[in-house]
Structure 1
Amino acid sequence: MVLAVASAGFVPDRPDLGHRAEGFDLADPAFFAHSLDPEAPRLLPPAAYRALAFAALEDDAVWTRSWLAIGLGAEISSPGDLLPFTAGHHGLHVQRAGDGGLVGRFNKAQHGGCRAVPLQCRTGTQTPCSFTACGYSRDGDVLPAGPDGPTPAMHQYLGLRPERLLPVAARAWGPLVRINLDPAATPPEPPPEGLTALASQTHRAEFAANWKLAAQALAEGDPLAEASDSLHLTGRLATGEAASIALHFPNLVLIAARGRTCAVMLQPTALGKTLLRIGLLGSGDAESAAAAPGRMSWDAWRAEIAARMAPAVAAQAALTGPETDEPLPTNAAGLWLQRTIAARVRARPAATDTQPLYATAQGRGC
C-alpha cells in the first residue's frame, strides 16, 4: 500500500497498517524464527537494527509496555525537581512530589511547539531542538526546582496545569527510577537489596550502535538464572576479574564487581545510536562505601563500558550496508533479549481502530 504524504510533511504511525521494511513483515513470527535457535544464536535480520519501521514496532511492543529505567532517584532529591526521558516516540518526565513520592507524566508538548511533527523529526534520530520536551528531540539535563517551585524552563514539560497531563506509572526501584507508560501496570520484579547511589548524578556516553546490540554487549556473560523480566549472568571484566551481570528488560544492565554496581540505562537516540545513562551504586552508607579501598573508579568503569561496547559498534557498522552476507552471531544475552522482544511483539494488542488520534486539516490553508 502506498500512502500519500500529508501536507504537514509526514505520515503518522499507523500500527493497523503493519510494520514492513526490506521485504519483511517485521511483526511476523517468521521474521524472528531463524534468530532464536539456541543451537546457533544469531542476530535478527539487519532490518531490526536499521529500519525505522522496526523502531516503530518496538515503540508499540516494547517502549510503551515495559518498565524502563530512566535515572537515579538522587538526581531529583528536592520537591519539584524534574527528570526528563524520551521513551520511544514519547516525551515523558518524572517529578519529585512534595511528599517525597514520584509523579510521572507525558510532557505537555509531545512535538515541541510545532503544529505537526516535521519530516526531519521522523527519521528515527533525536535532534537538538529549540523547543524542549519533544518526543523527537534530545532530552535535557535534570531540571531542579526553584525556590518558588517550577521554573520557566519546565513549562514545555508541565504546562500550566500539570495535573491534567496524561499520567505515567513511576516508582523508586532501589536507588533507581523506573517508569511504565501504562499507569495501571503491574509492579516490576523487586530490585536487588541494599543498593544505594554513590553520586547524585548520572554520567552520559553515546555509542554508534542500536540499543539491542548495546544491551547484549554490556551483558556479555554466561547465563546463570532467568526471571520474568531479567536475565542474570556471570562474566569477567576487561581486567579479567569476575563480575555479576543482570539484564533487566528492556534497558537496564547492572554490572557488579569489586564492591560496586554500575547501572547502565539505555536510551535509543537514533536507529544506530544509543545513549547510556550511567549511575554508580554501592551497598550500605554511601560516604563510607565511597571511601573504601580497592573500589573501581569512574574512569575504570568508563573504560570497562567502552571495552564492552566495542563489539556492538563493530556489529552496527557491519549491518549498515545494503547487504549482509552471513548472519552475525549473538551471545546469551542477545538471544534472551530477542526472544523477549519477539514475545512482546506477539502479545501486543491487535490494532483495530483506524481513526488517527489527530490529523492535520487538508486543503484548508492549515
Structure 2
Amino acid sequence: MALAASLAVSSAGFVPDRPDLGHRAEGRDLADPAFFEGSLDPSAPRLLPPAAYRALAFSELEDDAVWTRTWLTIGLGAEIPAPGDLLPFTAGHHGLHVQRGADGGLVGRFNKAQHGGCRAVPLQCRTGTKTRCSFTACGYSRDGTVLPAGTEGPSPAMHQYLGLRPERLLPVAVNAWGPLVRINLDPAAEPPEAPPQGLAALAGETRRAEFSANWKLVAQALAEGARLGEGAESLHLSGRLATGEAAVIAVHFPNLVLIEARGETCAVMLQPTALGQTLLRIGLLGGPGAAPSDLEASWATWQAEIAARLRRAVAAQASLDGPGAGPRPTANAAGLWLQQRIAARVQARPMPTDIQPLYATAQGRGC
C-alpha cells in the first residue's frame, strides 16, 4: 500500500514515466490484453474503457507503444522551404524538430531542451495538459509555428531547439512523404508505406484548430465512412461530407487523416495536447500544378467540415469524463481499426530489461 501511495504521489510530476512499473489506472492493468477485450470484436465494436480516454497512465502507455515507435505526420515540406527553416513537433512526451538542411534534405532531431514545463509547473504537465510556456522547445508545449532561418542563418529563437552543436543531438528518422513530412523516433525505423501519388501542397502553410476530445475519438470522427480496404499501416473508406458530396478517406496510423473531395485533399494531422484535447494541423493538398480559384474559401469549407465531424467526438469525450458507468458508445470502422492497431502495438512493444532510470529527481523538489 505504501508503494502504491508513493507512486501516486510521484506521478504528480517529479519522476519520469517508468514503463517497468506498469501502467495501471482505475483498478485495471491498461497493458493487459483483457483491457482491450470487448472493444475489438468486429461484430459489435465498442470504444475502449473510459480510462483509455482520461487516464494519464494510458497516455504514457501510448507514448511507450505508439508515439515513440511509429511514423508520425507532423506538417508539410512546403512549410520549411529554405535551408535552416525549422518545424517543431511534440511527439507524445518528447520535443522534436525537423530542419531543412543546406543540401535541401530534411534532418530530424530531439530538441536540445526537453525540460521547460515540467520544471515550471510539474503538476500540470504530469496530469496530461501540455502548457504554453517560455521554454520554446519544451517537450510539454503546444509547439510554436515554423521558425524561418532568414538570410543570417539560424535565429536566436532556434537555440532552445538546436543548442550550439545540433549535430550532437539525438537523431530522429525523417521522411519526405510526398508533400508531407513524417518522423519516427527510432532512427533505424523501416521506411513508411508508399505515399499517395499525385499530391502536392496547395498552400505553403498549415492551419490549426483544437478540440476537446481525446485523439482517438478525433481520428474516428474525422474518418467516418464505410470500409473500402486496408494497407500495411492505413485504412481506406468511402464517406460523405456534411454537404452530401462523396468523399474518399484514408487513415494512416496513428495521426494522419486524408479526406479527398471536390478535387482537393484535406490533410489533418493529430497531436494530443491533453488527455481530452487534440490539436489539429491542417493542410490543403491537390494535384501538381492545381490551384483552387479561391484558396480562402477552400480553407473555410474544410474547417467547417472538420468542426461538423468533431461535434460527436467532443460529446463522447464529455460523457467518458463523467462519473457515470453507462454502456460504452460504439466504434465506427476507423475507430475499431485504430483500437486494433493500438492493442497490437501495446502487446508488441519491447519490455524493459533494465529497471534503473536514466535519471531521477529528488522527491518533492521538482528540479
- Rounded to whole Å, the distance in 2 between the matches of 1:42 and 1:61 is 21
Whether the 8 Å contact between 2:83 and 2:102 is mirrored in structure 1 is: yes
CA drift of 1:112 comes to: 2.3
Q: Output aligned runs, 1:27-176, within 5 Å.
A: 27-112=31-116, 118-176=122-180
Whether the 8 Å contact between 2:14 and 2:364 is mirrored in structure 1 is: no
CA drift of 1:301 comes to: 0.6
- Rounded to whole Å, the distance in 2 between the matches of 1:344 and 1:319 is 23
TM-score (norm 1): 0.95
Answer with 354-363 or 270-279: which moved more: 354-363
1:212 aligns to what? 216
Q: 1:198-235 CA distances to partner (integer Å, 9 max, x unpaired)?
A: 00100100000000000000000000000110000000
Whether the 8 Å contact between 2:265 and 2:284 is mirrored in structure 1 is: yes
Q: Output aligned runs, 1:1-366, within 5 Å.
A: 1-2=3-4, 3=6, 5=9, 10-112=14-116, 118-286=122-290, 289-291=291-293, 297-361=298-362
Whether the 8 Å contact between 1:86 and 1:92 is mirrored in structure 2 is: yes
Q: Which runs of 5+ in 1 are unaligned?
A: none
Q: What count of residue pairs does the alignment treat as equivalent?
A: 363
Decide whether aligned partners of structure 1 residues 76 and 7 sit closer, same or farther in structure 2, where only a CA change above 3 A counts: closer
CA drift of 1:323 comes to: 2.8
Whether the 8 Å contact between 2:292 and 2:298 is mirrored in structure 1 is: no
CA drift of 1:23 comes to: 1.0
Decide whether aligned partners of structure 1 residues 304 and 12 sit closer, same or farther in structure 2, where only a CA change above 3 A counts: same
2:135 partner SS: coil
Aligned-pair identity (%): 79
Paired letter, 1:350: M
Decide whether aligned partners of structure 1 residues 296 and 226 sit closer, same or farther in structure 2, where only a CA change above 3 A counts: farther
CA drift of 1:122 comes to: 1.1
Whether the 8 Å contact between 1:111 and 1:117 is mirrored in structure 2 is: no
CA drift of 1:290 comes to: 2.3
- Rounded to whole Å, the distance in 2 between the matches of 1:90 and 1:276 is 18
- Rounded to whole Å, the distance in 1 between the matches of 2:356 and 2:280 is 36
Q: 1:325-365 CA distances to partner (integer Å, 9 max, x unpaired)?
A: 11111100000000000000000001121111112257999
- Rounded to whole Å, the distance in 2 between the matches of 1:218 and 1:68 is 17
Whether the 8 Å contact between 1:318 and 1:324 is mirrored in structure 2 is: no
Whether the 8 Å contact between 1:258 and 1:296 is mirrored in structure 2 is: no
Decide whether aligned partners of structure 1 residues 330 and 131 sit closer, same or farther in structure 2, where only a CA change above 3 A counts: same
Q: What RMSD, in angstroms, separates the aligned Cα atoms of the two structures?
A: 2.2
- Rounded to whole Å, the distance in 1 between the matches of 2:116 and 2:138 is 5
- Rounded to whole Å, the distance in 2 between the matches of 1:212 and 1:329 is 13
Paired letter, 2:183: I
Q: 1:134-180 CA distances to partner (integer Å, 9 max, x unpaired)?
A: 11122011000021210100000000000000000011100000000
- Rounded to whole Å, the distance in 2 between the matches of 1:145 and 1:76 is 9
Decide whether aligned partners of structure 1 residues 76 and 235 sit closer, same or farther in structure 2, where only a CA change above 3 A counts: same
